[in-house]
Amino acid sequence: MIRAIAIDDEPNALRVIENHAAQVPFLQLVETFTDPFKALKFLEENSAHLIFLDINMPDISGLELSSILNEKNVLVIFTTAFSEYALESYDLDAVDYLLKPFEFTRFHSALLKVRKRLNSSNHATNFFFVNTGSEQRKMRYEDIQYIEGSGNYVTYHLSSEKVLVRSTIKQVRAYLPSAEFIQVQRSYIVALSHIDVIRDNHIHIGQARISIGPKYKEQVKSVVNDFS
């Protein structure tokens, strides 16, 4: 399931995206925003694979906003009524460029590109390296059960050991595959594949019992529904 948000200062344009999105079974449009800064705030605490992003907005252009979003590891589809921005949008590595008014078939075609890119990136590698202070440690995504943050340090909880690294939850979240990991409170990210049960607003992974923060309940619920 592709989790997406849409940003456009025109409510009517957002309604078009909502109507198209409702027809795509592998797309979940979780939020829409007329204020781009509220969207950025949302992304501080919630994950998304994709953003539909208008280019012409009064306070900040979509092209300017895209450079900020690059740090959040999300894909972008630009939406605009002006064709002259097309070349610049591709320079920013946008997945696609939808010229308003766009029909469902064109919308769906852009989403197929997104799905293809996500699938290829998810299978590009199954590991990364972390600096433990004394060595560069190879970490396999499949071995990580959950990640616990405390100030400027995080602990990777693996099946057989714990690995302490100088980093923050926000930094870690940026390079974890969002299709495989989900943040469940300010200080915890869990691997979906390692969840044993969700009960009484807590996630159980082995002997660990991790509470779900109020701001993350809807996100956890949507992911669980995707897998049910």
> Are 181 and 189 contacting, i.e. CB atoms less than 8 angstroms apart?
yes
CATH code for the domain in which residue 169 is found: 2.40.50.1020
CATH code for the domain in which residue 71 is found: 3.40.50.2300
For the entire predicted model, the pTM comes to 0.58
Tell me: do 7 and 103 sit in the same domain.
yes
Tell me: do 98 and 175 sit in the same domain.
no
Tell me: do 13 and 100 sit in the same domain.
yes
Half-sphere exposure of 92 (CA within 13 A, CB side): 26
Q: Is residue 8 classed exposed, middle or buried when 0-12, 13-18 and 19+ CB atoms within 10 A define those classes?
A: buried
- Please tell me the total count of domains within the chain: 2
Radius of gyration for the alpha carbons in the chain, expressed in angstroms and rounded: 19
Tell me: do 150 and 199 sit in the same domain.
yes
Tell me: do 17 and 117 sit in the same domain.
yes
pLDDT tens-place values along the chain, 228 residues long:
788 999 999 999 999 999 999 998 788 899 999 999 999 888 887 778 899 999 888 888 777 777 777 666 789 999 988 766 555 555 567 889 899 999 999 999 999 999 888 776 654 567 878 888 888 888 888 999 999 999 999 999 998 899 999 988 888 887 787 778 899 999 999 999 999 999 989 999 999 999 999 988 888 877 766 544
The boundaries of the domain holding residue 91 are 2-122
Q: Other CB atoms closer than 10 Å to residue 199's CB: what's the count? A: 9
Tell me the sheet residues that pair with 181: 191
Tell me: do 105 and 132 sit in the same domain.
no
Tell me: do 22 and 105 sit in the same domain.
yes
Interacting residues of 151 by C-beta distance below 8 A, sequence separation 6+: 168
**Among 122, 138, 164, which residue terminates a domain?**
122
Tell me: do 64 and 150 sit in the same domain.
no
Q: What angle is formed at CA 193 by the lines to CA 189 and CA 196, rounded to 5 degrees?
A: 90
Phi, psi of 165 (to 5 degrees): -135, 140
Tell me: do 105 and 174 sit in the same domain.
no
List the end-to-end C-alpha distance of the chain, in Å, as a whole number. 12
**Among 72, 102, 122, which residue terminates a domain?**
122
Tell me: do 131 and 200 sit in the same domain.
yes
Tell me: do 147 and 99 sit in the same domain.
no
**Among 91, 107, 122, which residue terminates a domain?**
122
Residue 69 backbone zone (phi > 0: left; psi -120 to 50: alpha; other: beta): alpha
Q: Other CB atoms closer than 10 Å to residue 140's CB: what's the count? A: 11
